[in-house]
Each structure stands twice: as C-alpha cells, then as structure tokens.
C-alpha cells in the first residue's frame, strides 16, 4: 500500500483530500471528530515542511440555498484552533484568487479550499469526476494524498480525478482502515460474520462475498425475520423484506451449516420503547407481534459461535438499538467480544454508533469510520478511490 511515508513532501505543495464532513448546527460544528482524525496526516506534512492544501466535501450541494449551509469556513476556524496556527481559507473552489493564494504558500502553511461540492451546482462536476476539474485541482499541487475514507467508494474529481494527474498515496486514516479491512481478504479461521440491521437487501452483496470465506454467518436484527420466513415460520408483524425471501431460501439451502439464525426473540405489539416485551421462541411468534431484538438463548448461541473465532466482522445491530429495551443483546455481544479479546472489526454505520453509545467503540480491534465505503469493501467490490492510487 502506498502511503504518505512513500512520498517526498518536503517543500512540496501537498494536496490532502480530507473528510471534514462534520455535523453543523447554526453554522457551528457540533462534533469535530472528523477534523481531529485528520490531524496526524496534516501534522506529518507540516512537520516535513510541506505547503499543505486541503480539500473536503461538506453535505450535499444541489441548489443555490445549499451553498451557505455547507460553507466549509467553520472547519477552517476549528482547524486553526487544533493546529494552533493560522489557516488560509479560499472561499472559491477555483479562480485567480485561489491560484494566487497557492503561489504564495510557504512551507508549513495550510490552505483550506471551499467545499468541493460547490462544484456540483454547475453540472455535478465534483461528484461526476469531471475530467477538467480533477486536472485543474491537480495543477495546484505537486503530490496528492487521499485521506477521506468515507468517499473512497466514489469516483469524484477531488479523489480519483486528482490522483490520476499527480504522484499519489493514502494518508494515515485510510491506511488504518485498509490495513484492518484487508484482514477480511484472506481471513484467519475460524472467521465469523455477524449481520444485523434492517434490510436483507442492504446485505446481499456482503453475504454473497463472505459466505464462501466465513465459517459462520450469524444473523440477527430485522433481517433475520426474512430468513425465518424463508424457513416457513410465522413472523407476525416483524420486518419482512418480501422481495428477498427467495434469496434467503437459496442461501439457507446452499449453506445450511454456515447460517446461524435466532432461536428466540424479544417481541411486542407496537414499534415503541414504551410497551413491555416478551421473550419467545421463534416458533411462537403470534400474528400481531413483532420481533425487535434477539433473545437470551440466541445471545448465548452467538457467544458460543464466536468464542473460538480468530476474527469477527460485524455489520448491523441485532435489534432496534435506538430503543433502550432492544439494544440489550447488541450491547451484551459487544461486551462479550471485547471482554474475551476476540479480534473484532465493526463494519461502519449503525453498529459503530451502537458501540460508541455503549462505550465499546474504542475497545474493539477496529471500528470502521466508513458507512457505504466499508459495506462495499465487505462486498468485495473494487473501490475507485483505492484503484486510483494503486
């Protein structure tokens, strides 16, 4: 893997694509985690005398009204505090003013360019990887570092476009993600996959890619009910992904020993946190009940299945973790994996949010920061942002 350690950045204009897509409220940053996460790569470049040019997207820009609310200048302010130095900010994504600012850069200076998606207003140029735009941004620098993992599954001008014109490498953040996720390419065995979350449709690619590599796939969450339905069981009002019943049947037929389904579930009558729930065996679900979490026997079964795993990858919570009553088994299984030092990769999205809420995010082997990017990696797809640098 080519990382920034392989590039000479001394006295060079180094373009770094960061992920500064931070939550904002009334123009104020409410969570600066992503800015903090970008610091090691930026600091390395500054320590090595680079002239740093930063690019990032923020939100989506579809119409004029989106410009002001996705203005990147609050990031410049916060970055200045974190780096304890002045940050130059270009309000334009292209033009003379920006080019002059770049020309004036001295080693250890930092210039942040306005939201790359401002370019989407005129013909979706950033998001469609417009050739001219990628070449233009590349012309501002000498080398390129991609450190925005969250967009690595997309071919945009600010990642793939620039990379096709300059010597390029990954930053520390992407290196960390890819080092961890690459363990899924040729996993150590036993290799156990845990899948939960809402829909089977979101996980079909992951199942298809990992079912041959995994020793077991444990299925919980809303998606388990489509599998149970495929086995001919009554699932009441539980989540059903009707279109994918046939897919589930096929997986169960082709891999009968690999797929592990819940044996008991927490059921209730309404989708709310307020009502009491009952634990029932999966054969006992009534027509007016819905399952919102796995049950304790399933929890025990999942612990048994992961006990000797050399590596576990987990995507999607086992229940409606947003409700206090139905996060129980997601939290307990996380605790089990952490307390037993089982090497666990959390595959981004809601399972990472659940782990963060329960205090396990920093205790697992790796909690991926990517949502769609991680899922596509787990699907075995070639990701444009990786290919562009390879």
User: Within 231-250, which residues bind ligand AMP (CB under 6 A)?
Assistant: 239
Give the total of residues touching ligand AMP (CB under 6 A): 18
- Catalytically annotated residue among 220, 221, 291, 349: 349
Nearest Cα to Cα of residue 141 among 264, 256, 273, 51: 51
Residue nearest to ligand AMP (CB): 197
* Alpha helical stretches, state H, 198-308: 204-210, 224-230, 245-254, 296-306
Q: How far is the CB of 371 from ligand AMP (least distance, A)?
A: 8
CA distance 139 to 233: 61
Q: Would you count residue 389 as binding ligand AMP (CB under 6 A)?
A: no
CA neighbours closer than 13 Å in the CB half-sphere of residue 379: 15
- Catalytically annotated residue among 12, 13, 34, 258: 34
Nearest Cα to Cα of residue 160 among 197, 131, 185: 131
| Residue 154 designated active-site | no
Residue carrying the six token digits 């985690």: 33
Q: Would you count residue 46 as binding ligand AMP (CB under 6 A)?
A: no
**Torsion angle, alpha carbons of 163, 22, 354, 208, to 10:** -30
Tokens of 379: 């699907």
Residue carrying the six token digits 């009558």: 269
- Pair 285, 236: CB distance under 8 Å: yes
Piece of the chain touching ligand AMP by CB under 6 A; list 100-108, 191-199, 272-280, 356-364: 191-199
Q: Would you count residue 292 as binding ligand AMP (CB under 6 A)?
A: yes
Q: How far is the CB of 351 from ligand AMP (least distance, A)?
A: 7
Q: Would you count residue 317 as binding ligand AMP (CB under 6 A)?
A: yes
Piece of the chain touching ligand AMP by CB under 6 A; list 15-23, 84-92, 158-166, 193-201: 193-201
Q: Would you count residue 53 as binding ligand AMP (CB under 6 A)?
A: no
- Pair 67, 107: CB distance under 8 Å: no
| Residue 203 designated active-site | no
- Catalytically annotated residue among 199, 249, 363, 381: 199
- Catalytically annotated residue among 310, 372, 380, 381: 372
| Residue 34 designated active-site | yes
Nearest Cα to Cα of residue 356 among 41, 31, 124, 46: 31
Nearest Cα to Cα of residue 130 among 140, 139, 120: 120
**In the complex with ligand AMP, which residue's Cβ is closer, 227 or 321?**
321
What is the contact surface with ligand AMP in residues (CB under 6 A)? 196-199, 202, 221-222, 239, 291-292, 316-317, 319-322, 349-350
Catalytic residues: 34, 199, 349, 372
């Amino acid at each position: 893997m080519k990382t920034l350690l392989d590039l000479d950045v001394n006295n060079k204009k180094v373009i770094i694509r960061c992920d500064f897509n931070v939550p904002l409220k009334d123009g104020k940053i409410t969570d600066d985690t992503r800015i903090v996460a970008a610091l090691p790569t930026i600091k390395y470049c500054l320590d090595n005398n680079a002239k740093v040019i930063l690019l990032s997207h923020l939100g989506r820009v579809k119409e004029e009204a989106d410009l002001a609310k996705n203005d990147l200048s609050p990031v410049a302010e916060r970055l200045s505090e974190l780096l304890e130095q002045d940050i130059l900010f270009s309000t334009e994504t292209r033009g003379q003013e920006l080019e002059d600012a770049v020309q004036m850069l001295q080693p250890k200076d930092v210039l942040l360019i306005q939201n790359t998606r401002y370019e989407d207003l005129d013909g979706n140029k950033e998001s469609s990887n417009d050739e001219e735009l990628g070449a233009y941004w590349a012309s501002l620098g000498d080398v390129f570092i991609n450190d925005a993992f969250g967009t690595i599954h997309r071919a945009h001008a600010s990642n793939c476009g620039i990379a096709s014109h300059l010597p390029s490498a990954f930053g520390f953040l992407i290196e960390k993600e890819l080092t961890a996720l690459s363990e899924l390419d040729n996993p150590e065995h036993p290799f156990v996959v845990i899948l939960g979350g809402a829909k089977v449709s979101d996980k079909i690619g992951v199942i298809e890619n990992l079912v041959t590599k995994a020793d077991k796939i444990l299925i919980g969450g809303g998606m388990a009910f489509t599998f149970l339905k495929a086995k001919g069981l009554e699932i009441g009002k539980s989540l059903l992904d009707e279109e994918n019943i046939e897919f589930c049947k096929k997986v169960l037929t082709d891999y009968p020993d690999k797929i592990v389904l819940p044996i008991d579930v927490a059921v209730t009558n309404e989708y709310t946190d307020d009502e009491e729930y009952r634990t029932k065996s999966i054969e006992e679900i009534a027509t007016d009940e819905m399952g919102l979490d796995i049950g304790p026997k399933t929890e025990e079964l999942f612990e048994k299945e992961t006990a000797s795993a050399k590596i576990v990858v987990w995507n999607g919570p086992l229940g409606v973790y947003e409700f206090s009553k139905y996060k129980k088994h997601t939290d307990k299984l996380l605790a089990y994996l952490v307390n037993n030092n089982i090497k666990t990769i959390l595959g981004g999205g809601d399972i990472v949010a659940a782990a963060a809420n329960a205090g396990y995010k920093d205790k697992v082997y790796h909690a991926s920061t990517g949502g769609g990017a991680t899922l596509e990696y787990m699907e075995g797809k070639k990701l444009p942002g990786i290919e562009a640098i390879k």
